[in-house]
Amino acid sequence: MEEVIDMRSSDESENSNNEETEQELSSEIEIENENEIENDFENDFDLNEFINENENENENNQLIQNQNDQLNQKNLNQKLPSRKELSQIKENQEILYSNIYKIQIELLLKKIGLDYKKKTQDIKEYLFELKNKIDGIENIKFQIKKNQITINQLQKSQQNQKQFIYSFKKSNFPNLKLSNDTLRMNILKPSNTYLIGSFLTESLVKPYLNIDVGIEIPSDVFEQEDIFDYKYHDKRAIYLHLISQYLQYIDPEQFTNANMHFSFFKGNRRKPILVIKPGFINIATENNTKSEKQKKRTKRKKERLEKRKTKFVIRIIPMISQKTFDINKLSLESNNLKKNSNQNSTPFYNNSILEDMFFYHHLETIHETITNSKSISEGILLIKEWLHKRKLYSYEDGISGFLASIILVFLIYKKRVIPSMTSYQVFRLFLEFFNKSDELISQGIIIDDQNRKIQEKDKLILQSFRKHFDIVILDEFKACNLAAHFKLSSFYAIKEDARITLDLLRNGENNRSLTILNFQNIFLIPTNLNLKYDGYITISSIENFKKKAKKIKYQDCGFENYFKRKIYRILQKGYGNRISSLAVFKPNEDDYGDCNIQESMKNHFKSKFSLIIGINLNPENCFKIVDRGPEADDQIKAAKFRKLWGKLSELRRFTDGSILEAVAWEKYTEKQESIPRAIAEFLLAHHFGLEVGKHFHFIGDKFSKLIKIQKMVIRSGFQGKKKTVLSHYHQICELVISSFQKISQNMKELDELPLDIISIQPLSDIFSQTSIDVNKPIEFKLEFETSAKWPDNIQAIKHLKIAFLIEISKGLEKYHKINSKISLDYLDVFTNSGFVLRFFLSNGKENDLLEKNRPQDYKEIEKKILFEPNHRDFITQNFTKKNQIYPELTRLCKQWIHSNYLSDYFSNELIEILVGYLFSTSNIRYSQPNSLYSGFLRFLDFMINFEFQNFPIILDPNHILSAQDLEKIDKQFQSLKNKVPIYVSTSQYPIGTRYTSENPTKLIMKRMQKIAQKTLNELLSIFETQEITNKELFNQIQKIFQVQITDFDLIIKLKNSRLIRKKLEKNGIDFYSGFSPKEKFLQELNNKLGFAILFFHNQMELDSEIGIVFKPSSFLPKEFKLSDLTSINCAIPTKIQEDNLITIPNIFEIISSIWIIGEGIIESIESNFENKILF
């Protein structure tokens, strides 16, 4: 193969295999079948297990560990280690974790790379035959049907050869601008056929097994005038179409309509490429000279080959030589669309011809630069895999393998990357280039192997290109922009993901679990574009804009490109600093890549237009009420501002005395998340004539309406009537804080107390603004100053605490007319506004005695006086105050968990920690969520896909935990991961059982993940629906927060009349006594029947239903015991086995026991097995 086909290089390999399902990497190392391409990636790929198996075999790691041990032992005999020893310990530690990366990368490269020696022989022979068939095109006679294109015959066909008739219909290529001149063209076989692309440079990434074959169209096919008015593009398309028909003529079995279609080079509709999916490769042939035995063996081999499918996809890409056209006539400022004399220049049009002329040269540059270094080639593999996993790989608007390779060539020429580096270092430096450098957008780059500094004349050339293109990458000829299609939005998307990826790499350098986890987040887990942005604008039609747009403005670059660039700039200006990033992309990159070879492309192009705009919000400015513009005196800027905002722009005087053009959004103040929507609706209507609901939808602003806030009754005084009802959460929080501040001040001013109150700490989640039950008592920890007179007996301290509570109660009544109620453990204070503030007393002496003696109720007391105040402060300081969306998102997640009847299994504290993990900078795949939409969907995705059994949840927002602490956490996790389904470690509580010592269980976690998966699928399905009104959209989302009763085995329905919490009336103030018949009933059910049943209910609402699921493990046959005869255990004997009586639980006895326990409160018990009422 290598002797016949010229080998050149290209990474411009379009993903024509998009319909193949992208699968996860498996944990196997060896390829099982050497005769098949390994492309079966499984979901159970476990790097953690692989590392465990290989670390013991890594002598280098063991040597490093021994050195550290020796140094540590030496340090025991010294007060302080020397600087050299500290440096060596640090260096050894870095090497240790870099070796973990090295092992992971080696395994990854084996899985995504291709064994070219074993797996490509058949496809090479197929390519060899393909080249011969294409070269035979010169020996065919062309007879064109009537009313078709006339092509000059160059050479007659051989005698007795079947006649080839070329049939071309213009409808196959509706974008062609055919004229009488265009029809006169000579047909010659390709000047050269090149095997190009990633296959040649051995940088194909599975499963994207695309092989590029370049065909050089002879210069004699064209005339110099063909650079005008798309004549070149017409001839290029006709030439390629002829090749497709000829291949079908020469081998109709191999080249069928089913396995051939047209795609487009870099998304340019005027530049088709031919895509061939061989499907079956029939290479084996029989030889009559062989023996019968050999014939049978050959036949079996042929049958086996014929049954084997190949995953390779071949793309035939036309190109031309550099001498075909005069480069000067294709300069940046030339106008080659003569039919439109008003066009000043056609830079995009000219560049589309130049890139075909210089294609060979660019491929050769890549090939000569990277093929001599294995690490560079492997680095390209890592870069491509990262681009694919982050959904950044784009041929039409962003960066492809070809462009990534060109940028890598630039870094090599600049000595920023050297061949001796490892593939990991190459990959990391590529990311650093995008993260730190703005060369591509600020100036542009020139690919020059001489590594010369950019001269002043070169800067002027780059500047002239920057006037027309978002990104500029020139070669040494400085004529063709290799990144003409690369859009600004794509650049910033890559830049943001590079930053996130580098953070993940850095955060995994000091901990083994984080190293493996972050590696998976970078290379193994694909980004979900539906979760990547805080809000989305989905555009389904742009016909209105096309009617009003002037053709001269988009004739050069094409209407879709013009629309994408214009909408990006308009929205970027409109949102300003309200957003951190904005991306424009298609739902499917290959929307135009599956046009059947005989299908009319005219009909194909009429397929429904679809475009998505993703928006990431800036939390500091996204909900501001006023957009300030320029001063009124600055007429030029003021005119631009008014043009942008139209009728919304108005002159305003601000408090600082300035008079500015401004746009105000006052009517959206109560629904802040609607401000981004309002901006999008106005700008798209004003500049593009697009109507919301008809031409586009805004996704991401409906979730705040789903958070149910209980109404709070505000009274005028103890005996007063109802004054008003608060339903706005922030109003309730402000009132709670003001009431607390007033009461706490009153307490501290009481002179009757023998000891001073030194602190009052909030315990309730309403102080973190994460509570969804605002009517329950609001709890605090009240602590007095230390004193030697505190007794040494716990019971005596309890009695003394009650005496303090009595004094506080009396003082509040005497001096401030505030009523209260004393309990054995706390004091309830009733505020004028209707809140109940509950105070628990604590002192240091009692805490020490509890820790020492650990009484029976130690866990409950410790939770109240130590854990809850620490946790509340941790959440409030690190998340509520730092992330505007965190409190509301937590309330939404709590409501979802409670609405799915999981209240008893996920504590409020655990939910707050799990949501907080989404805002952690060390362990996430996305930027921090700044909308309820992105936050909630990422929470669901996190609960579904995070490997809780393999990795701990580590929350260290202030980076307090040292490397040693992280190592201790990792070791403890390894010892406990089979005992707790979720291991949560924070900087306050590094021991990971504080939050999950009892719940959730593994069974509950599986149930949670199934519910989360169902919810996520339903939400994404709703958002993908285009034809839906805002009201219908909200109603469908609301159903997500309604439990599916069919998910339970039994349903207990309670009597509504018995569910009302008992209320005590005192001085006109309503408050709860703390008694709940439903909770008491559930407690008794769990005590007596919890061995066989899981109970589910909504703790936050007085629902009249309780779901029951039988534990599968409890129904396994067990050996009979006398205690099983009791009705509580509900055992029923089933059979005699070796003189042993075997029993299983009696379901009917269990149901009967439920009825007896709930007598008077149960209305009915229903079964989902047959939908029958049992009681």
Tell me the pLDDT tens digit for each residue of 476-527. 999 999 999 999 999 999 999 999 999 888 877 667 777 888 888 899 999 9
For residue 430 the two structure tokens come to 């590529």
pLDDT(139) > 80 = no
As a whole number of angstroms, the distance between CA 280 and CA 259 comes to 10
Domain presence at residue 1024: yes
Higher model confidence: residue 127 or residue 725?
A: 127
Average pLDDT, integer, range 809-836: 89
Domain presence at residue 1038: yes
pLDDT(143) > 90 = no
Report residue 851's pLDDT band, with 50, 70 and 90 as the boundaries. Answer: confident
As a whole number of angstroms, the distance between CA 986 and CA 982 comes to 13
Report residue 466's pLDDT band, with 50, 70 and 90 as the boundaries. Answer: very high
Let me know whether 872 and 924 are in one domain: no
- Mean predicted lDDT score pLDDT of the chain: 80
Tell me the pLDDT tens digit for each residue of 1008-1056. 999 999 999 998 888 776 556 667 777 777 888 888 888 899 999 998 8
Domain presence at residue 52: no
Q: One-letter amino acid identity for 512?
A: R
Q: What is the pLDDT of residue 29?
A: 28
Report residue 180's pLDDT band, with 50, 70 and 90 as the boundaries. Answer: very low
Across 254-263, 365-374, 601-610, 993-1002, least confident range: 601-610
Tell me the pLDDT tens digit for each residue of 341-354. 566 789 999 999 99
pLDDT(149) > 70 = no
pLDDT(808) > 50 = yes
Q: What is the pLDDT of residue 1067?
A: 37
CA triplet 1102, 1104, 1110: central angle to 5 degrees? 115
Each residue of 389-426: b (16+ CB within 10 Å) or e? bbbbbbbbbbbbbbbbbbbbbbbbbeeebeeebebbeb
**Of 1042, 1071, 1094, which residue sits at a domain end?**
1042
Let me know whether 829 and 894 are in one domain: no
Q: What share of the chain is helix, strand, coil (3-state, %, to 5)?
A: 45, 15, 40
Q: What is the pLDDT of residue 1129?
A: 52
Domain presence at residue 611: yes
Average pLDDT, integer, range 642-670: 88
Which of 135, 53, 43 is closest to 520 using CA atoms? 43
Q: What is the pLDDT of residue 629?
A: 93
Using an 8 Å Cβ cutoff, are 275 and 261 in contact?
Answer: yes
Q: What is the pLDDT of residue 200?
A: 87
Q: What is the pLDDT of residue 171?
A: 58
Let me know whether 850 and 726 are in one domain: yes
- Roughly what angle, to the nearest 10 degrees, separates helices 794-816 and 729-748? 100
Higher model confidence: residue 887 or residue 284?
A: 887
Which of 417, 449, 447 is closest to 433 using CA atoms? 417
Number of domains the chain is built from: 5
% of the chain residues with pLDDT over 90 = 38
Q: What is the pLDDT of residue 781?
A: 94
Q: Note every long-range contact of 1138-1146, with CB atoms under 8 Å and residues 24 or more positions apart, other chains counting.
A: 1142/1117, 1142/1118, 1143/1117, 1143/1118, 1143/1119, 1144/1115, 1144/1116, 1144/1117, 1144/1118, 1145/1092, 1145/1114, 1145/1115
Average pLDDT, integer, range 252-278: 87
Higher model confidence: residue 89 or residue 322?
A: 322
Burial class (CB in 10 A: 0-12, 13-18, 19+), 117: exposed
Let me know whether 1130 and 1114 are in one domain: yes
Rg of the chain on CA atoms, in Å: 36
pLDDT(873) > 90 = yes
**Of 980, 1010, 1042, which residue sits at a domain end?**
1042
Let me know whether 780 and 900 are in one domain: no
Let me know whether 834 and 886 are in one domain: no
Let me know whether 467 and 516 are in one domain: yes
Using an 8 Å Cβ cutoff, are 1148 and 1159 in contact?
Answer: no
Query: What is the reported pTM?
Result: 0.84
Per DSSP, 864 falls in state: I
Determine how many CB atoms are found less than 10 A away from the CB of residue 499.
15
Q: What is the pLDDT of residue 874?
A: 96
For residue 458 the two structure tokens come to 């070169």
* CATH, residue 760: 3.30.460.10
Q: What is the pLDDT of residue 100?
A: 76
Let me know whether 549 and 696 are in one domain: yes
pLDDT(31) > 50 = no
Let me know whether 620 and 768 are in one domain: no
Across 58-67, 436-445, 1053-1062, least confident range: 58-67
Q: What is the pLDDT of residue 370?
A: 87
Domain presence at residue 101: no
Number of H helices, E strands in the chain: 36, 35
As a whole number of angstroms, the distance between CA 443 and CA 430 comes to 18
Higher model confidence: residue 469 or residue 177?
A: 469
Domain presence at residue 97: no
Average pLDDT, integer, range 395-403: 90
**Of 1042, 1076, 1104, which residue sits at a domain end?**
1042
Average pLDDT, integer, range 132-161: 53
- For 1061-1110, the DSSP string reads PPEEEETTEEEE-S--HHHHHHHHHHHHHTTTEEEE--TTTT-SEEEEEE
Report residue 691's pLDDT band, with 50, 70 and 90 as the boundaries. Answer: confident
pLDDT(404) > 60 = yes
Let me know whether 608 and 620 are in one domain: yes
Tell me the pLDDT tens digit for each residue of 933-952. 999 999 999 999 999 999 99
* CATH, residue 1111: 3.30.70.3030
Average pLDDT, integer, range 621-642: 91
Cα pseudo-dihedral 400, 406, 412, 416, rounded to 10 = -60
Let me know whether 1036 and 1141 are in one domain: no
Domain interval for residue 1113: 1048-1173
Q: How many CA atoms are closer than 13 Å to the CA of 126, on its beta-carbon side? A: 24
pLDDT(417) > 80 = yes
Q: What is the pLDDT of residue 533?
A: 94
Q: What is the pLDDT of residue 540?
A: 85
Let me know whether 422 and 491 are in one domain: yes
Q: What is the pLDDT of residue 144?
A: 43
Which of 732, 621, 711, 706 is closest to 672 using CA atoms? 621
Domain presence at residue 461: yes
Q: What is the pLDDT of residue 246?
A: 87
Higher model confidence: residue 1109 or residue 1119?
A: 1109
Q: What is the pLDDT of residue 87?
A: 55
Domain presence at residue 76: no
Tell me the pLDDT tens digit for each residue of 1142-1152. 777 788 888 88
pLDDT(1075) > 60 = yes
Across 414-418, 538-542, 703-707, 718-722, least confident range: 718-722
* CATH, residue 986: 1.10.1410.10
Q: What is the pLDDT of residue 1109?
A: 92
Q: What is the pLDDT of residue 1147?
A: 83
